[in-house]
Amino acid sequence: MSRISSISEFLLQAGTRYMIFDMSRRITRWEDQSFLDFEHGLVAHPSPRQQQGWFAIVFANPQLNAQHYIWFVRLPLDEQGKLVLAARDQFLQLIVERLASTMDDDSADKSLPDNPYQFTPGQQQLADFNSISRKALHLPPSTHFQAVNDTFEQRNWQQWEQLALQGISDWVVFTEPAKRDALLGEVLTQLPDTLQAHILQSLENQVIGEPLSSSVANWIRLQQEPRKIATGLRALCGVSDTPAVEALLDELLHAPQGKEVDVLVVIVPLMASAHRQGNPESIPSERGTCLQ
C-alpha cells in the first residue's frame, strides 16, 4: 500500500466502500469529501464534544463479501475546532501497521487494535447508531422492531418492559416519519416514563414535524423535573431553529427550571445552533445540535 495521508485514503486504497457518521452530539452522516477536508485540517468540526470529534466509520470490501465493519474513533481538535494532524498521523500509523495487510483478506479480523483513539458508545447511542446506519446501508431493522411496532399500533403499554432498546430505536428510525410523528403526538403523554425517555432520546437524531415538536414543547412546559425537561429538549435538536422552539427556549431561560445545570447544558448548544449564521471554515451541520 503506497504512502497515505488520511483515513479516507487508507480505506479507498484498501478497496473498501465506507460511510462516516459523526457521533459527537447528534448522529449525522458526513459526506466523504467533508470528512476528507476535515482530515486535512481545512475545516473545523461543527459541533465538537470535549474538544474531540467522535466518529463511526462503517466500511466493507464488496469484492470480498457483504460484511460491514465499524470503527468508533475519537480524534482531538485544536482551539479552532480543527483536527490535530499529529494525532491523525499517529492513528494512521497504527492502522497501517496492524491492518494494511489484512484489509483484502476475507477471513482476517478488521477490528481496531487497542489504542487511545477508540471509544465505546453508550447503550442508547449505540442502539440509535445501529438503526441509523442500517437504514443508510439499506438493511432491514432488527428482529426487535416488530414487537415495538405492535405495541404502538395497539397502544398497549402494559408489557413495555419486554421491549428491547434496539427495537425502540429501530421503530423511531424506520417508521415512516409522518406516521411516527402523528402517533407520538397522540400518545406521548401516555407512555411510561422510561419508554418515553428512550423515544425522546432517539428523536434527538431525527428532524421531527411541526405538530410533534409542538406536542413535545407543550409537554416540556408541564414538567418540573430538570432531567425530564432536558430529555424533552433533546427531541427538539433537529428543529432548534424553528420559532416555536426558540420561544420555548426563551421561556425556559426565564424560568427557575432553566437555571438547572441539566437543562442549561442542552439549552446553550440548542440556542447556539438556532442562531448560527454559518461558519465558512466549518463543515455544514444538519439542523440542530445537542449534548450527549
pLDDT bracket for residue 288 (50, 70, 90)? low
Q: What is the mean pLDDT of residues 263-281?
A: 68
Mean pLDDT of the chain: 89
What is the structure's pLDDT at 33? 95
Residue 141's alpha-carbon distances to 57, 148, 159, in angstroms, are 19, 11, 21
The answer to whether residue 273 scores a pLDDT higher than 90 is no
Q: What is the pLDDT of residues 193-248, one digit of tens each?
A: 999 999 999 999 999 999 999 999 999 999 999 999 999 999 999 888 888 898 99
Sequential DSSP letters for 76-139:
EB-TTS-B-HHHHHHHHHHHHHHHTTTTT-TTS--SPPS-TTB----HHHHHHHHHHHHHHTTP
18 bridge partner residues? 59
Which residues, including other chains, have CB under 8 Å from residue 55's CB and lie 6 or more apart? 20, 21, 22, 23, 24, 35, 72, 73, 74, 75
Residue 12's alpha-carbon distances to 1, 51, 209, 232, in angstroms, are 11, 28, 37, 40
Q: What is the mean pLDDT of residues 19-42?
A: 96
Sole residue written with cell 442562531: 275
The answer to whether residue 110 scores a pLDDT higher than 90 is no
116 neighbors 86 (Cβ within 8 angstroms): no
Q: What is the pLDDT of residues 31-83, one digit of tens each?
A: 999 999 999 999 999 989 999 999 999 999 888 777 899 999 999 999 999 99
Which residues, including other chains, have CB under 8 Å from residue 291's CB and lie 6 or more apart? 25, 49, 265, 266, 269
Question: What is the sign, positive or negative, of the torsion defined by CA atoms of 167, 197, 211, 25?
Answer: negative
3-state secondary structure of 69: strand
Lowest mean pLDDT across 85-99, 146-160, 213-227: 85-99
How far apart, in whole angstroms, are the C-alpha atoms of residue 153 and residue 160? 13
What is the structure's pLDDT at 80? 96
Q: Strand order of the sheet with strand 17-22?
A: 28-30, 17-22, 52-60, 69-76
How far apart, in whole angstroms, are the C-alpha atoms of residue 291 and residue 237? 9
C-alpha cell at 291: 449534548
26 neighbors 288 (Cβ within 8 angstroms): yes
What is the structure's pLDDT at 280? 44
Lowest mean pLDDT across 59-73, 128-142, 165-179, 224-238: 59-73
